[in-house]
A and B are shown apart, each in its own frame.
Chain A
Amino acid sequence: MTDNRKPPADVFRYAPAPESRSIVDIKPSYGLFIGGEFVDGHGKSFKTISPSTEEVLAEVAEADDADVDAAVKAARRAYDRVWSKLPGRERAKYLYRIARIIQERSRELAVLESIDNGKPIKESRDVDIPIVAAHFFYYAGWADKLAYAMPQSAGRGTDPQPLGVAGQIIPWNFPLLMLAWKIAPALACGNTVVLKPAETTPLTALLFAEICQQADLPPGVVNIITGAGGTGQALVGHPGIDKVAFTGSTDVGKAIARTVAGTDKKVTLELGGKAANIVFDDAPLDQAVEGIVTGIFFNQGHVCCAGSRLLVQESIADELLAKLKRRMSTLRVGDPLDKNTDIGAINSAEQLARIRELSDIGEAEGAGRWSPECELPQHGFWFPPTLFTDVTQAHRIAREEIFGPVLSVLTFRTPAEAVEKANNTPYGLSAGVWTEKGSRILKIANQLRAGVVWANTFNKFDPTSPFGGYQESGYGREGGRHGLEAYLK
């Protein structure tokens, strides 16, 4: 894999290896999960489709203001009567139960996630769902140890208290994983939740609701309401919630910050990014290429911390790009349920339009566009892995989050220039550094204004590791001991 020749086409010809769909049972329609039961919503319903085939998967209720109110009231009742009175060690056991059920039903969850979201089964199976289970395991263990979680002098004393009802809104790129990031710490700390999954990916959250029932979680501790932006706004603005946790776009994050201004609602925001992935001339190039590919093509580039700006030292730019193009030529785009698929479907027609628009702008502004030859399926939403060369900092594709499999390549000469370019963004979620020199890693990592820095690796996640941004990438941390702080007072 170290030479730059194009591989013979037949080397990478694979027979189809589809994962069976028979393990999932998608119902024709779903209600809202409020107070431990599925109930009909008062609003309209909407369809959720498979982005890889455009087939309608199910009808899902769109929660209106009255539904949001009912969900918040159910969460408040559960908080007042049950959950806030339950000792931490008992809350822990519910969370452990949930974690175990997620492991037991992991394949079902993975297949359903890939069908509804479009991501490759190897990612939902090997990354998303295992980390979901791990997240519940991790925070389960905190539930009866909160007195040890924070410094005593932090004003919370030895008996930190939950906030109450948390309103949580999550995106479509990692539907069940984002649910776990939100629900596990909230429940461990003694809060109850109303969670709204993304409009295009509600199905695994609704299956999670069933898992809550299987675990005999007290009714109302977890409420799942489906809907679009209006439902989210009603939730954020509801006077009955004590906390807003949001993952999504920076624009919506700012709107939420304005909505909660002047209230006592605590807020954590996990927003957009435009991460720099910096490759120095002494980097192990083959590893760096793998890291660049993981950084931008993992999950179709639908990743807020994606390494969407490659900053490569000028002296190795040609060599690196040749290797990168060769590697990109081996990426397999197609059926998310095929076990050999590397890049699945773009999540929605809307997102595909956005990726196309920004890519066309990149071309119009003078950057060089390149994609490997690849055959895209006839139906569904697809975009080939793409890179742009000769990108400058003024180009929109270097400034705006594309949220797709599109890499902008910029060059630099000195470490100082690399840092300056990396930090030249209103975002600050993540960054990557590739070099064999340890002292340089530590220096550069120190200077990067980003919440997560991956050195000689990229896009790694773990429940024990805090995640969150600087600047306009939002505030607060999720994961680790730091993640508890968002749900305690």
Chain B
Amino acid sequence: MSDRIDVRKTYKLYIGGAFPRSESAYSYEVKDNKGKFVANAALASRKDARDAVGAARKAFGPWAGRTAYNRAQIVYRIAEVMEDRRPQFVQAVVKSEGLTASKAEKVVDAAIDRLVWYAGWADKITQVVGNANPVAGPYFNLSTPEPTGVVAVLAPQESSLLGLVSVVAPVIVTGNTVVVVSSYERPLPAVNFAEVLATSDVPGGVVNILTGSAATVAPWLASHMDVNAIDLVGVAGDHGLATDLEVAAADNLKRVRRAPVAEPDWAVDPGLDAMTAFLETKTVWHPIGV
């Protein structure tokens, strides 16, 4: 037994590619499933949420403007780096979700595989949901999907890694940027994920991760006039809060992915909905002639 004192990590927010503490200087205790102290996590404030939206807005144009092939490679790169840090994620899932090591390994595998799955969609979604339209006249007419913009995501409370990846990857792979509020009680995988993002060629501001309480931070995101859409899955089961957030989101007609009654089973095939919910269809006309 070594008498070395271990070096503990400070868990911080991830905004605009940097790791700041909360502007409020508040933190909260994170405990493992047995109630043992694990770390103090930053408690994101209204100001942090606004900073994150600013960073996401700044990153949106360049990110949406990248080629789909490039976004595919970057999301695939996230998977590569996660695979490389697999033991760290397994440990975080064990601590956060109280799973056995072998079950946690399956969760981490599924999360990495999901990133790989979504990475491939970057340059295929347009072909699957876009359309050439045979209008009755001499016009070229093409409908293509485009990213909605800045998307606020309330990450699931229970599935702290697979659920998180399953709501973040579909949003960014199509060219949106995102502000995520992680699971309140289980933020460790989200913080580790931020560190992966920072080393995976993901431009700063494309993904911004806030640890803290959805009930506190989400109202500011839902009412923020520079947020284009919001995914409410993180408040699944809290009908009152979800309704309030949807009402606030109407102020600038955010696209809202409603909160389900209970957190979904993240292991099943996700389909396209998590991507299409945050896509706009643009239709371009041009005359055909000589």
Q: Tell whether, in the assembled complex, residue B272 and residue A451 are in contact, meaning their CB atoms are under 8 Å apart.
A: no
In the complex, what residues of A have CB within 8 A of residue B286's CB? 441, 455-457
- A466 and B271 within 8 A (CB): no
417-457 of chain A: CB within 8 A of chain B: 426, 441, 445, 450-457
Q: Is the CB of A466 within 8 A of B281?
A: yes
The answer to whether residues A465 and B141 also contact, given A452-B285, A472-B253 and a CB cut-off of 8 A, is yes
B251: interface (CB < 8 Å): yes
User: How many residues of A are in contact with the other chain, CB < 8 A?
Assistant: 42
A454 to B148 CA separation, bound complex (whole angstroms): 20
- Does B101 sit within 8 A of A, measured CB to CB? no
* Set B143, B243, B269: member contacting A480, Cβ < 8 A: B143
Q: Does A388 belong to the interface (CB within 8 Å)? A: no
Bound state CA distance, A151 and B148, in angstroms? 20
Query: B280: which A residues are within 8 A, CB to CB?
Result: 451, 470
Decide if A466 touches B143 in the complex (CB within 8 Å).
Answer: yes
Q: Given A154-B271, A257-B253, A262-B243: A460 and B131 within 8 A (CB)?
A: no
**Contact A153 B285, beta carbon cutoff 8 Å:** no
- Enumerate chain A residues within 8 angstroms of B131, measured Cβ to Cβ: 466, 480-482
B174 to chain A, nearest CB (A): 14
Contact check, A466 vs B253: say whether CB atoms are below 8 A apart.
no
> Which among B239, B243, B250, B285 has the greatest number of chain A C-beta atoms within 10 A?
B285
Verify if A471 is at the interface (C-beta below 8 Å from B).
Answer: yes
Q: Could you tell me if B137 and A482 are in contact, using CB atoms closer than 8 angstroms?
A: no
Contact with A154, one of B246, B273, B284 (Cβ below 8 angstroms): B273
Interface on chain A toward B: helix, strand, loop, or mixed SS?
Answer: mixed
Residues of A within 8 Å of B173, CB to CB, are: none
A451→B285 contact, CB < 8 A: no
Interface status of B5 (Cβ within 8 A of chain A): no
Instruction: Compute how far the CA of A468 lies from the CA of B285 in the bound complex, rounded to whole angstroms.
Output: 14
- The B contact surface, by secondary structure, is mixed
Given A155-B272, A457-B139, A460-B137, residue A258 in contact with residue B285 (CB < 8 A):
no
The CA-CA distance from A262 to B247 in the complex, in Å, is 8
A464 at the interface (CB under 8 A from B): yes
CB of B132 to closest CB in A, whole Å? 10
Chain B neighbourhood of A452, CB < 8 A? 282-285
Q: How near does chain A come to B266, taking the closest CB pair, in angstroms? A: 14
- Nearest B-chain residue to A453, judged by Cβ: B284
B167 vs chain A, min Cβ distance (A): 15
> Are A153 and B271 closer than 8 Å at their CB atoms?
yes
Contact B276 A462 (CB under 8 A): no
Q: Does B255 contact A (CB under 8 A)?
A: yes
Least Cβ distance of B166 to chain A in Å? 14
Which of A261, A450, A456, A477 has the largest count of B CB atoms less than 10 A from its CB? A261
When the two chains form their complex, are residues A254 and B269 in contact, meaning their CB atoms are under 8 A apart? no
B258 to chain A, nearest CB (A): 8
Q: Check if B250 sits within 8 Å of A258, measured CB to CB.
A: yes
With A151-B129, A154-B271 known as contacts, the answer to whether A477 contacts B281 (CB < 8 A) is: yes
Chain B residue contacts of A250, Cβ below 8 A: 253
Asked if A153 and B129 make an inter-chain contact with CB atoms under 8 angstroms apart, the answer reads: no
Please determine whether A471 and B247 come into contact, CB atoms closer than 8 angstroms.
no
Interface size class of B (residues with CB under 8 A): 35 or more
Is B242 interfacial (CB-CB < 8 Å)? yes
- In whole angstroms, what is the CA distance A321 to B284 when docked? 26
* Bound: A445/B134 CA distance, A: 20
Q: Would A453 and B282 be within 8 Å (CB), given that A465-B141, A472-B252 are in contact?
A: yes
Across-interface contacts of A441 in B (CB, < 8 A): 286
One digit per residue, 1 when the CB lies within 8 angstroms of any chain B CB and 0 when it does not, for chain A 457-485 equals 10010101111101110110100111000
Asked if A171 CB lies within 8 Å of chain B CBs, one says no
Contact B276 A154, beta carbon cutoff 8 Å: yes
- Please name all residues of chain B whose beta carbon is closer than 8 Å to the beta carbon of A78 when the two chains form the complex: none
Residues of B within 8 A of A397 (CB): none
> Is the beta-carbon distance between B250 and A257 smaller than 8 angstroms?
yes
User: Which residues from A are CB-within-8-Å of B249?
Assistant: 257, 261
Q: Does B135 contact A (CB under 8 A)?
A: yes
Which residues B239-290 have CB closer than 8 A to chain A? 239, 242-243, 246-247, 249-253, 255, 269, 271-273, 276, 280-287
Determine whether B7 belongs to the interface, using a CB cutoff of 8 Å to chain A: no
Partner pick for B252 among A456, A464, A471, CB 8 A cutoff: A471
- In the complex, the answer to whether A457 meets B272 with C-beta atoms within 8 Å is no
CB of B57 to closest CB in A, whole Å:
13
Say how far A475's CB is from chain B's closest CB, in angstroms.
6
A180 to chain B, nearest CB (A): 15
CA–CA, A327 and B128, complex, Å: 44
Q: Among B134, B242, B284, find the residue whose CB has the most chain A CB atoms closer than 10 A.
A: B284
In the complex the two chains form, is B282's CB within 8 Å of A451's CB? yes
Query: Does B228 lie at the interface of the complex (its beta carbon under 8 Å from any beta carbon of A)?
Result: yes
- Is there an interface contact between A454 and B273, defined as CB atoms closer than 8 Å? no
Whether A456 contacts B287 in the complex (CB less than 8 A), given A257-B253, A262-B239, A451-B281, comes out as yes
**Bound CA–CA A255/B133 (angstroms):** 33
Q: Say whether B283 contacts A151, CB under 8 Å.
A: no
B136 interface residue per 8 A CB criterion:
yes
Inter-chain CA distance A269–B250, complex, in Å, is: 12
Interface residues of A in 112-136 (CB under 8 A from B): 134
Q: For B269, what are the chain A residues with a Cβ–Cβ distance below 8 Å?
A: 153
Chain A nearest CB: distance from B192 CB in Å? 30
CB of B271 within 8 A of CB of A155, answer: yes
Contact call A450/B282, Cβ cutoff below 8 A: yes
Asked if A253 and B253 sit within 8 Å, CB to CB, the answer is yes
A278 CB, min distance to chain B CBs, angstroms: 14
> Are B228 and A262 in touch, CB under 8 angstroms?
no
In the complex, what residues of A have CB within 8 A of residue B287's CB?
456-457
User: Which residues on A sit within 8 Å (CB–CB) of B284?
Assistant: 445, 452-453, 455
Given A441-B286, A452-B282: A475 and B271 within 8 A (CB)?
Answer: no
Query: How far is it, in angstroms, between the C-alpha of A153 and the C-alpha of B117 when the chains are bound?
Result: 13
Q: Are B283 and A453 in contact (CB under 8 A)?
A: yes
- CB distance A453 to B136 under 8 Å? no
Whether A460 pairs with B139 at a CB distance below 8 angstroms is yes
| Chain B, Cβ-Cβ closest to A464 | B133
Which single member of B129, B243, B253, B281 contacts A261 (CB below 8 Å)? B243
B246 and A261: CB pair below 8 A?
Answer: yes
B141 surroundings in chain A (CB, below 8 A) = 462, 464-465
B240 (CB) vs chain A CBs: closest residue: A262
Closest partner residue, chain A, to B143 (CB atom): A466
Residues of A close to B283: CB separation below 8 A: 451-453, 465-467, 480
Q: Assuming the A-B contacts A465-B135, A471-B228, A474-B253, are A261 and B271 also in contact, with contact meaning beta carbons closer than 8 angstroms in the complex?
A: no
Q: Please, could you name 6 A-B residue pairs with CB atoms under 8 Å apart, sorted by A?
A: A151-B272, A257-B246, A258-B247, A262-B247, A465-B133, A475-B253
- Additional A-B contacts beyond A453-B285, A465-B143, A466-B281 (11; CB < 8 A): A155-B273, A250-B253, A254-B250, A257-B253, A262-B239, A445-B282, A445-B284, A460-B137, A462-B133, A464-B136, A480-B143
